[in-house]
């Protein structure tokens, strides 16, 4: 795999299935449900507010709702209000599928904003593809997907791992312990990590998975002690990430000798972990709360005013927020043309939006151009950015998989 010149060496500091709602009438047109010519614009809001990943996913709900209300408060979209149909799928993929079906078939939404885990996205996929609807998914994920019914707002591996893994090896060493929850996202990210390490002379000393929601890590920590890796490469999510990091700290393991390097951990997990227990460890993300931009200042200020001064913004709820504005821009671009999910998608391609992290752009492959960064957690719960890209990085969802490429025409053989 060729390492690209993406993060132009900007070192800033040193290292210290549809479950049977068949009773609803199906409305199927070529572009999906068509919007009535006047009245509210129905959209689905499908984020878990309960269950194993609610610690993070409930904050995507909050950011999405804030954007919807901001838009409505400032006159809607061409005078039409957004009408959110809110569901809580409780961190359960089967419930995601069920609720997505309800939103599309009963509530006739023209888009759904939803989900954190790849397991829940994959549960929704057959629903939105079958009904030709549009799913705005804000979360970092493993790539290897090229649906024409999903707007992917989060980072794919070339935007998160491409610089992070070599940087970790350079600074700490190349013996990696891969630890994640047991589902598609961690397994695929670890495949990519293994390939990068193979290319740069590193090695995987162990690869281990725990069930979703698992929160007892004493035996994992014993194995880590025994292996003495240079880096714990972590794709635990939600409650598991919080529990692991707390136990890691209680066990006295030292971030200077054996840092945890996460693709998922953000300010919201750090706030649940506690700043002291997370301090010194690393995350790769396109946005951190302390980012210095007028758009971020407004975003953070509005979010804290609305939800409480103890709350945090982070790279996934930032995307949940800006995707609603991308949706708005797409509808505005459509003007008087008929609004269907497919028309919204086509109007969204190429749109640029000044997001809190910087200007983001929707690629023809429906993924998003983002601003990768590497941050080190501090005891105040914020990240110090050590490395950041000097330019927006294009999404390559099949980056680690030679021979396939996701394009505006769908998946192609290269």
Can you give the binding site for ligand ACM, defined by CB under 6 A? 117-118, 139-141, 185, 237, 264
Beta bridge partners of 46: 87, 114
Smallest separation (angstroms) from ligand ACM to the CB of 316: 8
Smallest separation (angstroms) from ligand ACM to the CB of 140: 6
d(CA 124, CA 101): 8
Cβ closer to ligand ACM: 138 or 166? Answer: 138
- Dihedral sign for Cα atoms in the order 306, 310, 313, 317: negative
Smallest separation (angstroms) from ligand ACM to the CB of 218: 25
Name every residue whose Cβ is closer than 8 Å to that of residue 72 and which is 6 or more positions away in sequence: 81, 82
Q: In this chain, which residue has its C-beta nearest to ligand ACM?
A: 185
Angle at 362 between CA 361 and CA 365, to 5 degrees: 140
Smallest separation (angstroms) from ligand ACM to the CB of 372: 16
Cβ closer to ligand ACM: 141 or 299? Answer: 141
Cβ closer to ligand ACM: 42 or 153? Answer: 153
Residue 206 burial (CB count, 10 A): 16
Smallest separation (angstroms) from ligand ACM to the CB of 142: 7
The closest of 268, 286, 266 to 360, measured between CA atoms, is: 286
Task: Kindly tell me the burial class for residue 219, based on how many C-beta atoms sit within 10 Å of its own C-beta (0-12, 13-18, 19 or more).
Answer: exposed
Cβ closer to ligand ACM: 140 or 374? Answer: 140
d(CA 358, CA 291): 9
d(CA 302, CA 382): 18
Cβ closer to ligand ACM: 156 or 334? Answer: 156
Cβ closer to ligand ACM: 117 or 389? Answer: 117
Smallest separation (angstroms) from ligand ACM to the CB of 118: 4
């Amino acid at each position: 795999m060729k390492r690209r010149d993406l993060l132009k060496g900007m070192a800033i500091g040193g290292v210290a299935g549809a479950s049977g709602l068949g009773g609803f009438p199906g409305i199927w047109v070529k572009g999906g449900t068509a919007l009535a010519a006047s009245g509210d614009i129905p959209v689905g809001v499908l984020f878990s507010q309960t269950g194993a990943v609610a610690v993070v996913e409930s904050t995507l709900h909050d950011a999405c709702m804030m954007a919807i209300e901001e838009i409505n408060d400032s006159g809607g979209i061409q005078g039409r209000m957004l009408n959110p149909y809110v569901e809580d799928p409780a961190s359960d993929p089967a419930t995601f599928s069920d609720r997505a079906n309800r939103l599309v078939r009963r509530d006739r939404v023209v888009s759904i904003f939803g989900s954190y885990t790849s397991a829940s996205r994959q549960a929704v996929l057959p629903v939105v593809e079958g009904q030709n609807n549009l799913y705005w998914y804000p979360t970092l994920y493993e790539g290897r997907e090229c649906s024409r019914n999903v707007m992917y707002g989060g980072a794919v591996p070339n935007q998160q791992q491409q610089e992070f893994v070599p940087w970790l090896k350079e600074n700490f060493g190349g013996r990696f312990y891969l630890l994640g929850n047991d589902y598609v996202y961690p397994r695929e990210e670890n495949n990519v990590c293994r390939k990068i390490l193979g290319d740069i002379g590193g090695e995987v000393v162990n690869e281990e998975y725990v069930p979703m929601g698992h929160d007892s890590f004493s035996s994992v920590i014993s194995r880590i002690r025994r292996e003495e890796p240079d880096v714990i490469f972590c794709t635990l999510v939600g409650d598991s990430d919080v529990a692991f990091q707390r136990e890691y700290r209680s066990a006295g393991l030292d971030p200077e000798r054996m840092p945890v390097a996460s693709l998922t951990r953000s300010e919201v997990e750090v706030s649940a972990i506690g700043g002291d227990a997370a301090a010194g460890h690393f995350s790769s993300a396109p946005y951190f709360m302390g980012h210095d931009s007028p758009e971020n200042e407004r975003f953070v200020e509005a979010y804290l005013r609305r939800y409480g001064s103890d709350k945090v913004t982070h790279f996934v709820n930032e995307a949940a927020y800006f995707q609603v504005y991308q949706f708005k821009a797409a509808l505005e671009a459509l003007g008087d043309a008929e609004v269907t999910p497919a028309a919204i998608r086509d109007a969204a391609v190429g749109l640029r939006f000044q997001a809190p992290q910087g200007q983001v752009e929707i690629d023809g492959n429906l993924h998003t151009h983002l601003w990768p960064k590497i941050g080190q957690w501090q005891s105040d719960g914020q990240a110090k950015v050590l490395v950041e890209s000097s330019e927006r990085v294009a999404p390559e969802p099949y980056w680690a998989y030679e021979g396939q490429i996701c394009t505006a025409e769908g998946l192609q053989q290269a």
